[in-house]
Chain A
Amino acid sequence: MSFNIMSKRKVQDAHLPVGECITEVQTILRERLCHQRLPDKPEGVEAQHRHLLELLKRTAIHGESNSVLIVGPRGAGKTMLLRCVLRDLLEDKEAQKSLLQVHLNGLLQTDDRIALKEITRQLHLENVVGDKVFGSFAENLGFLLEALKKGDRSSSRPVLFILDEFDLFAHHKNQTLLYNLLDVSQSAQAPISVVGVTCRLDVLELLEKRVKSRFSHRQIHLLSSATFAQYVERVQTQLSVPDDFPDTKFAQEWNDSIKVLCGDKSVEEVLQRHYNSSRDFRSMHMLLMLCLSRVSVAKPAIKPADLLEASRLCFADAKANMLHGLSILELCLIIAMKHLNDVYEGEPFNLQMIHNEFKKFLQRKSNSMYNFEQPVIMKAFEHLQQLELIRPVDGSAAKTQREYQLMRLMLDHSQIMDALQKYPQCPTDVKQWAMSAFG
């Protein structure tokens, strides 16, 4: 693909067919939105970037040992910051030659044994043959510690440990791995840096006292502080195509249309709603991805309507969607439950009570249309339980009969009423029953 672009770039102002341009735009933007492609410069976190780069440079070049935690909510750009810093660090020839990296993830390395094997593998210590690691846990730990101990500041290569999902490492038994890593970083052994990435603000409380005392307490917080204007600008830069786009005329048109889009009044309202609900990159990327997927040859630009539609998809209430597909009988049961909830103020209920409530409704209607047998009602009730719209109060389901098992409704009043309004061909008497205050 890149070969292709190179050859095209030589022919300046080449006019490509619209189809190829769209494909190119999709490729570039998808890589940015889905694959979290690194930007050339991190936005809004320049200070943190400088700080971390300085710190890691001291390890890589001067052989200082350090430990640092990057803390921030999910989607705030922690990994992006770290990867940007590493990229900039490795531009330095000396650092590139000497620095060793070990990447661990709390999701993958779920205990110290697996983590230790992974470290040994990534450092290519002498007990690794091919891809296999030999030795027991104790031997591996001994190996590693000895290897680290032998080194000193001047002679050995610095090692950078990156612990993603740092809080999960704190759940390991005795926190052996953390203790040993931080201990090495505190004493005059091989120069290592421990960089933890976590989304938990209380992560230090999870550490044991001996581990905590060996940690340098250096934290980098990434709290998104973008104003709304910055947010809109970020949307614009995310959607714009870069200058080295093969067809310059198309790129110009595309970028202009994005600029017009971001200035639109209705678009601004939608973005304001998203900004108010969350400011992280991820939810923004999801929104933009939904917009982008609607771009095709027939419609080669993003229109405000696309953004509205994407936003509608993002904010759709899943429970309302599920309620829409229930049968009349199931809906009647839910209304009966709502009445029971109203009358008995949130006390749990069982199927007998619901059936009783439903029968009261039928008697008043004297319409035999919904006269169902108890087993049919039971089947509908169980379907509701499978959808987790109702949930048993206590877990031990086997001990009580099914019709006497106490349940709670997992929906609130307004959700039920909204669903009733949207329900296709809802019978009027059912609607009235739901409206009436008490059964």
Chain B
Amino acid sequence: MSALSQHPGHEEDKLQRVREQLPCRENQAGLLLSLLGQPQQYSYPSIFIYGHRASGKSHVMQVLLKELELPHATVSCVECVSNSLLFEQVLLSLFGCEAAALLARTPSLSDFVRIYRQQCSQSPATQTRYIVMEKAELLRDADANLLPALLRLQELVEDNITVILLSEISWDKFRPNTGCFEPLLLHFPDYSKGELQQILSQDRHPSYSAEFYSSYVNILLGVFYSVCRDLRELRHLAALNFSKYCEPLGEGKVKETDTHKLWRNIEPHLKKAMQTVYLREVSSLQWEQMQQMEEKEAGALRGLSAHTHVELPYYSKFLLIAAYLASYNPARADKRFFLKHHGKIKKTNFLKKNEKTSNHLLGPKPFPLDRLLAIFYSVVDSRVAPTASIFSQISSLVTLQLLSQVSHDDQLDAPKYKCAVSLDFICAISRTVNFEIVKYLYDFL
């Protein structure tokens, strides 16, 4: 509490409002405020704040700047696909739309600094101005001079300005190879379990008691905490599943204090939610509808990934099967599988032990077109002519991303491919054409 209590230059009631809006972040906000100093004093040219997703980086910045009424520009680097958008946004927020209109169609950084200086001489800073860049990791993909220039913007525009970068990634991955002005690094630590509980308990439903909701949050964290610490995700899950938790109360079976029965009721439901809603297999709306329907078991609805069944033409299926066999079998085993009168192959020699398990672990290997066609002819029963339609089916399998071409596009002779489907998928396909693929796979011999 004490971290936010005394900051000369800011009014007490404003600080009080800030404190109310930042649960479990008083220390960070206090440190940040003392670094920024009083509004008329100079502040450090650039500050880099990093921390996990949903650890309150943007929220703290927004609340501080809004409540204390500091002049600022907030820019999301996702939105600013070009530099001119970035410059426009900054000038607009700091000086109003006349300044933004002065920018040329494709302004360079030099133009931006010139206009900034010009505006700045007309309305000199009485307070530190702030530029907050969210998702700053995207600045690395922008022009090479943008990040170093932003870091020393205070020196370039000769104004009392501080650039604050917010990111999930640590500063080490940002540093350009010729170096730059080093920003002040600040870390926002993750919320502990107790803090998460405290924050989540805040948005309780008014018709239920605080203890009731916090015991619900406790159960929720017990299921999800080992997998997910993202506050936003947890909050979303809490809101979704609360109605199910309250259900026995509505039916009058249990009382609010009977936590054990409530836990027995909700726990399998939450475990199901981890496999469905958490992975976005089932959308939140569908999940809510499922909860309404009593008789329908949750999760009985087929999620997104259950729709993997694809209707393919007969030959395309066999081409895909052949591609799978070519990708996951070593080439020297082909003779054994696909030739009628192969010579005698010693069993001990044939099955090298370490090679045996590794094919489905290492992933598909590339194969040439010739091998694909050879396997294809031997697995298809009838005689097939190598017509244009067969070859066009191969290339359309590539566009469907069931196969992927490994060699470059310009190579017309002897292209190489990889099979890009899973074992379940290919088993389903081969079942439809009565082909037992497991018998032909080296790994399952």
Contact = CB atoms under 8 A, between A and B. Distances in A.
Given A110-B145, A318-B187, A327-B228, A293 B279 contact: no
B139 to A, nearest CB: 14
A183 interface: no
Given A34-B44, A388-B173, A380 B227 contact: yes
B418 A400 contact: yes
Contact of B275 (A290, A313, A376): A376
Contact of B155 (A36, A74, A325): A36
Given A110-B108, A282-B182, A376-B278, A401 B226 contact: no
A318 B228 CA distance: 21
Residue of B108, B279, B418 ringed by the most chain A CB atoms within 10 A: B108
Interface string A313-339: 110101101101111110000000000
B149 interface: yes
Contact of A318 (B42, B172, B363): B172
B279 A376 contact: yes
A200 interface: yes
B50 A107 contact: no
Interface string B124-148: 0000000000000000000101001
Contact of A282 (B37, B181, B192): B181
Interface string A261-303: 0000000000000000000001100100110011011100000
A370 B41 CA distance: 53
Interface in B1-51: 6, 8-9, 31, 34-35, 37-38, 40-45, 50-51
Contact of A324 (B45, B178, B181, B189): B189
Contact of B38 (A23, A106, A319, A373): A23
B361 interface: yes
B397 interface: no
Contact of A370 (B156, B226, B279): B226
A26 interface: yes
Interface stretch (A42-50, A189-197, A350-358): A350-358
A375 interface: yes
Given A19-B8, A289-B184, A318-B185, A352 B363 contact: yes
Nearest to B137: A388
Contacts, number: 177
A404 B364 contact: yes
B404 interface: yes
Contacts of A74: 179-181
A256 interface: no
A108 B156 contact: yes
A319 B171 CA distance: 10
Contact of B170 (A22, A290, A318, A326): A318
B42 A34 contact: yes
B170 A319 contact: yes
Nearest to B303: A375
Given A107-B148, A110-B109, A34 B45 contact: yes
Contacts of A376: 227, 274-275, 278-279
Interface string B188-206: 0110110000000000000
B156 A105 contact: yes
A321 B189 contact: yes
A373 B229 contact: no
B301 interface: no
A400 B169 contact: no
Interface string B106-132: 001110011000100000000000000
Q: In the complex, which range does the number of interface residues on chain A fall in?
A: 35 or more
Contact of A387 (B149, B155, B168): B168
Q: Give the bracket for the number of chain B residues in contact with chain A.
A: 35 or more
A209 interface: no
Contacts of A118: 110
A131 B6 CA distance: 46
Nearest to A314: B185
A297 B5 CA distance: 12
B87 to A, nearest CB: 12
B2 to A, nearest CB: 9
B414 interface: no
Contacts of A321: 50-51, 170, 187, 189
Given A34-B44, A199-B178, A297-B8, A109 B110 contact: yes
B360 interface: yes
A328 B225 CA distance: 8
A173 interface: no
B426 to A, nearest CB: 13
B329 interface: no
A247 interface: no
A35 interface: yes
Given A352-B361, A376-B279, A30 B42 contact: yes
B429 to A, nearest CB: 16
Contacts of B180: 74
Nearest to B187: A321
B184 A286 contact: yes
A314 B185 CA distance: 7
22 contacts: A19-B8, A23-B8, A79-B155, A106-B145, A114-B108, A282-B181, A286-B182, A289-B44, A293-B31, A319-B172, A321-B189, A322-B50, A322-B52, A322-B170, A325-B52, A369-B226, A370-B226, A375-B305, A386-B168, A400-B404, A401-B364, A403-B363
Given A34-B43, A321-B50, 10 more contacts: A167-B178, A168-B145, A282-B182, A319-B170, A325-B52, A350-B362, A373-B275, A375-B279, A380-B227, A388-B169
